[in-house]
């Protein structure tokens, strides 16, 4: 289903359903009591953002460690692989929802309501800021405790009134800290207006790292060798370029000609570098156009060559990555590989990677132009915020990593 189609469904169907659902819930509450007890089966909901499945991991681990909670997760089926990277949530506790079309979406939502009751979910944490469908899933989940972001007096999307724990979204701190605030709200023994009156330190949002065996690394190196026969793991160092970004916000893409110039600079200044252009299989044609423009045998179209589960292995054998502000920046954070992330419509202060990451950001007066108040839909059709970031300054930022490679010659 196209992104704008989902937005229209969310608006025209979501708003009336949120209003009617909230009203029904208030009426039911008048005639039923609620027994307060510590939640044990906790469900996190984040459907559309693959990166958020990584960013919420510190919060999930805290809830698991300090409250002994049995973790569950609901996510779009196509985005589930991102949740599998760290393996924090058991496979049997993951509910996938198809977003291919309206009918499959509706069918899986109905199944979801049976699933939450079968699993005896007693607390739901809605991680979304923008989607009304997750508000509805939370509201009708059957769980007595419902935690999520609430606008209070701020501008924002109308998402009904389902929450038992209304957390004030803080647009001045990283989203991972906001996710931690949701967990803190659930664990707070007393009622608060607004939740959560806690401080989240930087060390609380550190990610667990994943290590891979030599055999696993060899499999990926062999795939690289299949794509570039001259590749020698003893001689060459892999540099990754991710020129893609989600369809949710295509304005995040740095111009292709800028990537072309940057790749040429890397290859000209570092004879040991082999540049792999990454992406999923659907992006292979676009990556091929980029490769042809570079015109260097050490620039390889690697889009779709490794399955998603092996991406972190690729990161673990690579020197560094330059990427748009997109999922790979967050997936790489579970490894020690340095990343250089180019930001435009969003800000690294809120959505920066939690790994060894260096943000590259022009900080124009109009940036960031997407937020919780506009459904992450910007009116901008000319992303000057990225066009003003030229290849030469980016090269100077990544040059210390290339110097390390050259020093090993």
Judge contact between 300 and 227, C-beta under 8 A. Answer: yes
Token duo for residue 119 = 């699993």
Per-residue H/E/C for 70-97? EEEEEEEHHHHHHHHCCCCCCHHHEEEE
- Give the 3-state secondary structure of 336-351: CCCEEEEECCCCHHHH
Residue 274: DSSP 8-state: E
pLDDT at residue 29 in the model = 76
20: how many CB neighbours lie within 10 A of its CB? 11
Task: Please report which residue ranges of 140-213 form alpha helices under DSSP H.
Answer: 175-187
What stretch of H or E contains 135? helix 132-139
Q: What is the pTM of this model?
A: 0.90
- CA–CA gap between residue 299 and residue 148 (Å, rounded): 45
CA distance 73 to 53: 9
Q: Report d(CA 100, CA 95) in Å as an integer.
A: 16
H runs (alpha helix) in 14-71: 14-31, 52-55, 57-67
Buried b (16+ CB within 10 A) or exposed e, 79-88: bbbbbebbeb
What element of type H or E holds 313? helix 311-316
Instruction: Tell me the C-alpha distance between 100 and 136, whole Å.
Output: 19
- List Cα–Cα distances, 319 to 223, 252, 404, in angstroms: 17, 24, 9
Q: Which two tokens stand for residue 95?
A: 């509910």
Residues 6+ apart with CB under 8 A from 228: 274, 297, 298, 300
CB 253 within 8 A of CB 244: yes
Write the pLDDT tens digit of every residue in 297-356.
Answer: 999 999 999 999 999 999 999 999 999 998 899 999 999 999 999 999 888 988 999 999
The pLDDT score that the predictor gives to residue 166 is: 94
DSSP secondary structure code for residue 68 in this structure: -
Please, what is the Cα angle at 11 between 139 and 14, to 5 degrees? 25
Q: What is the pLDDT of residue 148?
A: 95
pLDDT of residue 50: 86
Tokens of 249: 């916000």
CA distance 123 to 119: 11
Tokens of 157: 């999307």
Residue pLDDT tens, the chain, 409 long: 666 777 778 877 878 888 888 888 888 777 776 667 788 999 999 998 888 999 999 999 999 999 999 999 999 999 999 999 999 999 999 999 998 888 899 999 999 999 999 999 999 999 998 788 999 999 999 999 999 999 888 776 788 899 999 999 998 999 999 999 999 999 998 899 999 999 999 999 999 899 999 999 999 999 999 999 999 988 999 999 999 866 666 788 899 999 999 999 999 999 999 999 999 998 999 999 999 999 999 999 999 999 999 999 999 999 999 999 988 999 999 999 999 999 998 889 889 999 999 999 999 999 888 876 676 777 888 889 999 999 999 999 999 999 999 998 6
Question: How many distinct helices (H) and strands (E) make up the chain?
Answer: 16, 12
Query: Exposed, middle or buried: residue 281 (CB in 10 Å: 0-12, 13-18, 19+)?
Result: exposed
d(CA 251, CA 385): 9
Tell me how far apart the alpha carbons of residues 13 and 2 are, in angstroms, rounded to a whole number: 16
Categorise residue 142: left if φ over 0, alpha if ψ from -120 to 50, beta otherwise: left
Residue 62 near residue 70, CB atoms below 8 Å: no
Q: Which two tokens stand for residue 136?
A: 């509805």
Q: Pick from 86, 94, 95: which is nearest to 55 by CA? A: 86
Task: Please name each of the domains of the chain with its CATH number.
Answer: 3-205 (3.40.50.2000), 214-407 (3.40.50.2000)
């Amino acid at each position: 289903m196209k992104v704008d189609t989902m937005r229209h469904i969310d608006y025209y169907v979501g708003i009336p359903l949120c209003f009617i659902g909230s009203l029904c819930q208030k009426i039911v509450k008048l005639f039923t009591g609620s027994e307060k007890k510590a939640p044990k089966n906790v469900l996190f909901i984040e459907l559309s953002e693959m990166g958020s499945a990584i960013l919420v991991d510190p919060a999930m681990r805290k809830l698991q460690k300090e409250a002994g909670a049995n973790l569950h997760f609901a996510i779009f089926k196509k985005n589930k692989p991102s949740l599998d990277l760290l393996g924090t949530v058991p496979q049997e506790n993951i509910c996938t929802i198809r977003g291919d079309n309206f009918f499959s979406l509706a069918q899986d939502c109905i199944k979801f309501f049976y699933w939450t009751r079968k699993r005896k979910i007693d607390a739901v944490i809605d991680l979304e800021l923008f989607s009304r469908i997750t508000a509805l899933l939370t509201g009708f989940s059957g769980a007595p405790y419902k935690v999520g972001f609430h606008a209070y007096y701020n501008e924002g999307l109308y998402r009904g009134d389902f929450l038992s724990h209304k957390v004030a979204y803080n647009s001045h701190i990283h989203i991972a800290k906001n996710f931690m605030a949701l967990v803190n709200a659930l664990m707070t023994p007393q009622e608060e207006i607004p939740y959560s009156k806690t401080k989240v330190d930087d060390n609380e949002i550190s990610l667990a790292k994943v290590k891979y065996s030599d055999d696993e690394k060899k499999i990926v190196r062999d795939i690289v060798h299949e794509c570039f026969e001259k590749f020698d793991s003893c001689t060459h160092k892999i540099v990754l370029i991710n020129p893609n970004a989600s369809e949710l916000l295509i304005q995040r893409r740095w111009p292709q000609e800028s990537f072309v110039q940057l790749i040429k600079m890397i290859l000209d200044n570092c004879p040991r570098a082999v540049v792999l252009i990454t992406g999923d299989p659907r992006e292979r044609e676009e990556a091929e156009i980029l490769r042809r423009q570079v015109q260097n045998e050490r620039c390889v179209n690697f889009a779709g060559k490794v399955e998603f589960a092996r991406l972190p292995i690729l990161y673990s054998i690579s020197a560094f990555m330059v990427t748009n502000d997109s999922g790979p920046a967050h997936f790489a954070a579970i490894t020690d590989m340095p990343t250089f992330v180019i930001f435009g419509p969003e800000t690294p202060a809120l959505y920066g990677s939690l790994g060894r990451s260096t943000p590259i950001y022009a900080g124009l007066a109009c940036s960031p132009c997407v937020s919780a108040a506009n459904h992450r839909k910007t009116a901008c059709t000319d992303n000057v915020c990225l066009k003003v970031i030229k290849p030469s300054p980016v090269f100077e930022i990544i040059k210390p990593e290339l110097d390390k490679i050259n020093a090993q010659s």
